[in-house]
Amino acid sequence: MAKRRLSKQQQRRIATLQKNKIKHDLRLDRQEFDETSTQTARVISHHGRQLYAETEDHEKIKCKIRQNLGDIACGDYVLVQQAKDNADKKKTGDLPASEQSVESQYVVVAVQERTNLLVKTGFAGSIKPVAANIGQLVIVTSLKPRPNPYLIDRYLIAAENLPAKALIIINKVDLLDHQSKRVIDDLSSLYEEIGYRVILSSIKQDIGTQEISEALSNTTSILVGLSGVGKSSIVKTILPKEEIKIGATSTATGEGKHTTTVSALYHLQCDGIIIDSPGVRDFTPNNNSLDEIMQGFIDIRQFSGSCKFSNCSHRDEPGCALRQAVTDGKVDKQRFNNYLRLVQEFNEKG
């Protein structure tokens, strides 16, 4: 297919944007910054060429980003410096109060080493950072749109390879009927038997909210899941004073409308932190090897290396320990099929 040609107006607009970016970078390079003002801050939201961060004194500051620092994600710890003229004025008390917080001129000069980084596959296979330094991946699913075990398993692969603790929330249980109750009971039993914690919740009926609050304490958690499952509603319930947009589920598709457009970081009581990520309709873990996929299935990986053949594909070879584990009821058949599906997708991609 031939590439669509840009109009002259579009070409001029792109050229102007590029010129403005170059001017922005030159201004940053020429501007003097006070090295004595260097401090550590944590990124709480990121918007293109600038971000908001929070200092160790819980001061929220707006920062520009020095070029060539690479991708910066919500949850990153960064080193920031203040513009020299602003730093001097702040020391002498001449800087207006309105400019001493968010609007002060700061620049990010370095990104500190991460404990982990959650990424997703974006447009044309590009890798996009979602959040950094995560202690717990909270997988939120719901009765509407209905739970997707294959999607849950993909998130669990991401959690196991970060590594981070995984928590599964099944939301909107106020919509339970006889048929869906059996589905939810089976799903809960499956993941609890493997070793994961599952919380049933309903924001409308205040079910599970206290249990969720306690599970989010003393760590940095990120809420992930399809749009419309209630991630932002959960955050809003736990943090009623925060301005968090809540969206409705589309009646046409049964899926949620995107309400969170950038990741954002919120503080909880008991030293907990939540990162609310944009809803993704199709989360694809960035698996670099078949070993990472195996690592993501804690119930399957215990049988790794036990097959008769070292290169067993776990499909039709004799002496397959994994298929025998499925037959013996030691591994759930659905989980096994999800594992094979992910392996096949990885091989086709490679």
Domain count of the chain? 3
Say yes or no: 83 and 42 in one domain. yes
Q: Could you say which residues of the chain have pLDDT below 50?
A: 1-3, 19, 21-26, 28, 30, 87-88, 95-96, 98-103, 244-260, 279-281
Q: In terms of domains, do 161 and 271 share one?
A: yes
Torsion of CA 141, 142, 144, 148, to 10 degrees: 50
Closest by alpha carbon to 77, among 101, 105, 54? 54
What is the predicted pLDDT for the residue at 224?
87
Q: State whether 198 and 248 are in the same domain.
A: yes
- Here the CATH number for the domain that contains residue 74 is 2.40.50.140
CATH number of the CATH domain containing 335: 1.10.40.50
Establish if 119 belongs to a structural domain. Answer: no
Where in the sequence is the domain holding 317, given as residue range(s)? 290-349
What are the tens digits of pLDDT across the range 266-309? 888 788 999 876 644 455 667 789 999 999 999 999 998 899 99
Q: Which of 305, 333, 331, 330 is nearest to 319 (CA)?
A: 305
Do both 264 and 299 map to the same domain? no
Q: Is residue 221 part of a domain?
A: yes
216 belongs to a structural domain: yes
Q: Same domain, yes or no, for 150 and 220? A: yes
Task: Identify the CATH number of the domain in which residue 242 sits.
Answer: 3.40.50.300
Residue from 196, 195, 194, 169 nearest 184 by CA:
169
State the pLDDT at residue 156. 96
- Looking at the fold, whether 186 and 260 belong to one and the same domain comes out as yes
Strand partners for 319: none
Encode pLDDT of 229-276 as tens digits.
888 889 889 887 765 444 443 343 344 443 445 677 888 878 899 987
**How many CA atoms are closer than 13 Å to the CA of 30, on its beta-carbon side?**
6
Same domain for 231 and 343? no
SS3 for 235-264, per residue? HHHHCCCCCCCCCCECCCCCCECCCCCCCE
Residue 39: the pLDDT is: 93
145 and 221: one domain? yes
DSSP code per residue over 127-138: EEEEEES-SEEE
Residue 122 falls inside a structural domain: no
| Domain-ending residue, one of 111, 129, 150 | 111
How many angstroms separate the Cα of 182 from the Cα of each of 176, 179, 187, 189, 329? 9, 6, 9, 11, 20
Tell me: do 197 and 164 sit in the same domain.
Answer: yes
* Pair (298, 262) in one structural domain: no
Nearest-10 crossing angle of helices 149-161, 178-194 = 20
